[in-house]
Structure formats: C-alpha cells, structure tokens
Amino acid sequence: MTASVTHPFSPGACPRLVVKVGSALLVDPAGDVRREWLASLVADIADAIAAGQRIVIVSSGAIALGARRLKLPAGGRASLEDAQAAAATGQIALSGCWAELLHGHGLTAAQMLVTLDDLEDRRRYLNAAATLDRLLALGVVPVVNENDSVATAEIRFGDNDRLAARIGQAAGAQGVLLLSDVDGLYTANPGTDPNATLIPEVTRLDARIRAMADSGSASGMGSGGMVSKLEAARIALSAGAHLAIASGRVPHPLARFIESGHGTVFRAAGPARARKAWLAGRLTARGRIAVDAGAVAALGQGKSLLPAGATAVEGRFLRGDVIDIAGPDGALVARGLAEYDADDATRIIGLRTAALADVLGQPPRACLVHRDHLVLL
C-alpha cells in the first residue's frame, strides 16, 4: 500500500481504522465465501498493519453462510428462529475463514460478538472498549459481528453499518470504512438517473444530504442501504471519526480506495469527548422531551435544558436514563441524561426555576438535562 499520509484513511493519518464488509461482498449467491476476493482484502489489511495501522474488521456473512449449510429457505431469513440458527452455524465458518487468511500473513484474529445492549449500556460499552483497546495494543485483529444468534427485532442493530460506526467509537478509531456494492453517495440514484454524480466529500450531514438517500439512492443490499450508511456517518462523526463509503466490488478494495480516493468521505470536524460521543452514538432512548424554539436556541449555545423551555414529556424514564430532546417540529436536536424521572419532569415542564420547589415539595435541581450530560445531534 503506497499511500500518502495526507489521505485521511492512510496508516499515517489514521492509526486505528474500522473496515466493514457486507454479506453481498463476502458471500456469493450460492452461499460460498468469495475466498479470492477476501484474500486480496486481507493482504491489504496486512500491508496496512505492517505500516503501523491497527484495524478492526466488522464482518457480515454469518447468516448467509449458515443458511447454506443448514439448507434453509430464503437465505436463512424466513423466520427469526431460522436466522438465529443460521447465524450460530455460520459464525464458526466465518470466523474460521478470517482467522485462516489472517494467519497466512502472520496475524492473529480475535472474535467479538456483540448485541445492541452491549453498546447501549454504559458499563458494558466500556468493557467492550477496553477489550478492543487491549487486542489492538497486542497487534491482534478483532473480527466483530452482531450476535444474531440471540438478537431479536427489538434489540438489534439490524445492519452492520451502524454497528461499525459504534465499534469505531468504542475502539477510538479515527476512520470507519464501509466497503459496499456502491462506490459512494450520489446526488440521485445512478441506476435510474444518468445525471447522477458521485459526491466525493461531505463536511456537513444536513437535510440536503439525507434527502439524497431518501430519494432512492440506497443500494438495497443486505439489511442496510444508503439510509443506514448516513446514520452510520452521523454516529462516526459524533465521535470525531471520518467515515467513508467505497466500492468493494474490486480486488484489493482497501488499497484501491487509499490510492485512488474514489468514494465518499464524510469528514469529522474534530475529536469528541468520550461520554458525549457515547450519548450521540446511541440508537435507543428511554423517553423524549419536546421543547420550544427558545430552548432549541439555548441548547445550540451550549446551555442546559431548563423546565421553562419544555412543552411535553413522553416515555417512562428515571433520573440518569438517556432521553431525546425534540424541537417544535418533532426533529431530534439533542440527547442527554435526565435529571428528573418522567413523572416529576411532567409536573414541572413550562415552569420557571423559582416555582419548582413549590411544585416538588423539595429543593429542586435547576435543569431537566445538564449541559455536561447533553450532546447536540
């Protein structure tokens, strides 16, 4: 790999990198591993590690591989039970393949299976982060996948794009690369619009960029798509990591991306505080507080959320739970840790601070969410 350190994903600029590989790239329609292609990617990874980079792999493919071995219909996705059985069977084959190919380059692989709860719960998230940090320090290549054998529709990531971004956050990575069957984000669906153009760089993930995915530029592969990739970009950027979408439909896809720069890079503005990055990257919340336009403006200035600016409370949450904060139009503007439980929050919304003690019957906390435990989305 002969890349300039100026490339944001090169070993010199990105000490820790997460590489996500989807099922459509790794497994062929017959349910077999695309071994020659995978070997070329592993060679790229070995070169990057030799140049000083530490790499985490987020690999799909367990369900597809297991379904073939168990001869299950619909690729193992006809039912939740089939998917769980296929995942349990295919994960052994998937991990074995990665371990064998990495071993051929003198590298040791480690398997990590995680669930949504493992990364949403703060204590378990820190445990996962510590494991990743130690493995990378030892020169081991973690191979991560969602634990589909126990995940259900209610407690799962659902796609490995968002999982990769969360793992990047936990690993302290500077970059997350999503290898895909599309080569980046386009202004429109390139399959139907001949005027669609590739967007090489995104510096602000705003409504205009999101609309490009909503209008049909999703790839449609696997369980993800362009919408999930933009959500992954949001998570990565909130953690201060760049994210890229690049084609995996070529041999040596990592090296080709670094050398050519062809793809879409979402650039992070800068590093984020660890606790706030964890909050921003969460996919679940226990409740929601709606606020008025004045509160939205105050939050944007770095202030805490006061009861006076709140207009409604939804959900059942306790003090310390993660809650979302939504503006007058319903759009999420922030996320943070509740200073009150839902019942007390409902009693004091819209009130000035001076009135809180009379309503609560005790000395109040001044805010619903303190600025030190709040992150803008």
Annotated binding site for substrate: 60, 148, 160
Residue 115 token pair: 């669930």
Q: Which amino acid is at 237?
A: L
Q: Quote the CA–CA distance of 288 and 295 in Å, as a whole number.
A: 14
How many CB atoms lie under 10 A from the CB of residue 224? Answer: 28
Residue whose entry in the numeric block shows the structure tokens 């690993």: 171
Q: Quote the CA–CA distance of 184 and 200 in Å, as a whole number.
A: 8
Q: What is the dihedral of CA 135, 137, 140, 142, to 10 degrees?
A: 40
> Under DSSP, is residue 330 helix (H, G, I), strand (E, B) or coil?
coil
Q: Quote the CA–CA distance of 251 and 267 in Å, as a whole number.
A: 26
Residue 172 token pair: 């302290």
As separate numbers, helices (DSSP H) first and strands (DSSP E) second, the chain gives 14, 13
Known binding site for ATP: residues? Answer: 20, 180-181, 223-229
Known binding site: residues? Answer: 20, 60, 148, 160, 180-181, 223-229
Q: Pick from 174, 181, 212: which is nearest to 60 by CA?
A: 181
* DSSP-derived secondary structure letter, 106: T
Alpha helices, H only, the chain:
23-26, 35-50, 62-70, 80-103, 116-120, 122-137, 160-171, 207-212, 226-238, 253-260, 274-281, 293-300, 342-348, 356-360
Q: Pick from 180, 244, 189, 248: which is nearest to 218 by CA?
A: 189
Tell me the C-alpha to C-alpha distance, in Å, between residue 210 and each of 178, 204, 277.
Answer: 17, 10, 21
Sign of CA dihedral 1, 246, 129, 95: negative
* DSSP-derived secondary structure letter, 363: P
The residue length of the chain stands at: 377
Residue 224 token pair: 């993800």
